[in-house]
Amino acid sequence: MPSKATTLDATRHTLEDLLLARGTDAIPIVLIASDDDLAGLSDLERRWAGARDWKPSQGAVLPVPDETGAVGKVLFGTGGAEWAKDTPMLTGALPGKLPAGDYRFAGPMPDPELAALGFLAGCYRFTRYKSGNDKAPRRLVLPEGADRDQVLALAEALYFGRDLINTPASDLGPAELEAAARELANAFGGTVKVTEGSTLLADNFPMIHAVGRASDRAPRLIDIHWGAESAPKVTIVGKGICFDTGGLNLKPGGSMGLMKKDMGGAASALAFALMVMRTKLPVRLRVLIPAADNSVAGNAFRPGDVLTSRNGMTVEIGNTDAEGRLVLADALSFADEEAPDYLVTFATLTGAARVALGPELPPLYADDDDFAGKMLNAARAVGDPVWRMPFWAPYDKLLKSNIADVSHISDGPFAGSVTAALFLKRFVHDAKRFAHLDIYGWVPREQPGRPQGGEPQAARALFQFFRQELGS
């Protein structure tokens, strides 16, 4: 029987054990940018590297023995002097290539916080369903200049988001997603209100109900509040489709295998919330998660149906596999009613976004140029990249319906991510700034600091934006 999902306390304890106090005796990691840097090594160390034909290519790791045969030093190839700008999470390549032990960076790091975070991010493994795991840790001494609490908060949020996405839908449905949200809110003095099942209809969330009504696991809207009411109002909406079969427009098997990650938007929203709460960022945070399964049953919503949304707009259903924008629409209308200063969606929304930009670069749609520019800079600085895409108004006509106010999908194969973003934008009128992130939520091939599996994309980027904007 798999153990209970990792709790926040257990994750925090694990990470605290991995990040050692400054001054702890540990094996030095020496950064080697080019062959020229090898000249600074001892003759024995150079001969060791030469005998193994080791080159300082980016992410290359070479343990070098001391006179006793134990690891006395580690050479770490950066691929050039500009590595910290181009690949700020490169240190995440270390844990998977090092033997168990305690390590420290031998010299100053361009960004000590990211260097430590990258290492901890690379230590992550999802072991809930594994037995007989290697328990021996790779630990790092806190680099000079890094804020321990900040590093731990960011790493904890990454682990939390990854655990949620990696957990199969059998163990993470709408109720379990609610439980994770409650644990998070309760840990930091937040409040939670949940609207569930038929109450969604009574409280005017008809499209969330329509998407989730075919499942035997009741749909719900999770609503978290945290922070002082006088602070800037930041509202995050995360898509929480716990499993997406495609509904009556049933996905083929090959497209359904990763659909446990269709709540990746909710995981990113909660990871962002954890960063905000743990670091006491001065905002009034609200997180809305419409959580549901998109299932098949006799009462499933159908292609051609017309649904009435929370704000009264009628929506013609073109394809039941485009369910995420429906649940988001009701949540956005609800969020917009209080006119927040920032309203941001995280959602694994379209395959078209992956066609356009691939799995590593989520599109960012924003109606405020200043916010968008600062967000791009923040994302680049912390190695959590996004790329701006347009709310291209002329494509709005592609959502025309002959029988309803709007069709929820476009009438052709083009610009699928843009038209999805335009659909969402129709439900936002009073928020001062609106942004939408069309994330993938998954790492298909392991990268430095990003093991294969779930990833709460853009959460660190958004946190960095607010950290800079608020001077925290």
SS3 category, 242: strand
Report the largest interatomic distance among the alpha carbons of the chain, rounded to a whole angstrom. 80
Beta strands in 259-369, from DSSP E residues, in sequence order = 284-294, 306-308, 314-316, 342-347, 363-366
Burial (Cβ within 10 Å: 0-12, 13-18, ≥19) of residue 182: middle
Euclidean distance between CA atoms 318 and 121, whole angstroms: 40
The DSSP bridge partners found for residue 236 are 287, 344
Cα 463 to Cα 127, 236, 250, 282, 402, distances in angstroms: 27, 12, 36, 12, 42
Assign 85 to helix, strand or coil: helix
Pairwise CA distance, residues 121 & 448, whole Å: 8
Q: Which one of the listed residues 73, 162, 261, 325 is annotated catalytic?
A: 325
The catalytic residue among 128, 182, 251, 388 is 251
Contact between 356 and 380 under an 8 Å Cβ cutoff? The reply is no
Q: Which helix (H) or strand (E) holds 467?
A: helix 459-469
Instruction: Please state, as a whole number, how many other Cβ atoms lie within 10 Å of the Cβ of residue 46.
Output: 14
The residues that bridge with 140 in the sheet, in sequence order, are 19, 103
Task: Assess whether 251 carries a catalytic annotation.
Answer: yes
Are 122 and 19 in contact by the 8 Å Cβ rule? The answer is no
What the block records as the tokens of 9 is 């306390």
Torsion of CA 408, 410, 414, 416, to 10 degrees: 0
Contact 378, 403 (CB under 8 A): no
Contact indicator for 115, 91 with CB cutoff of 8 Å: yes
Q: End-to-end alpha-carbon separation of the chain, Å?
A: 43
How much helix, strand and coil, in percent to the nearest 5, is found in the chain? 40, 20, 40
Positions annotated as catalytic residues are: 251, 325
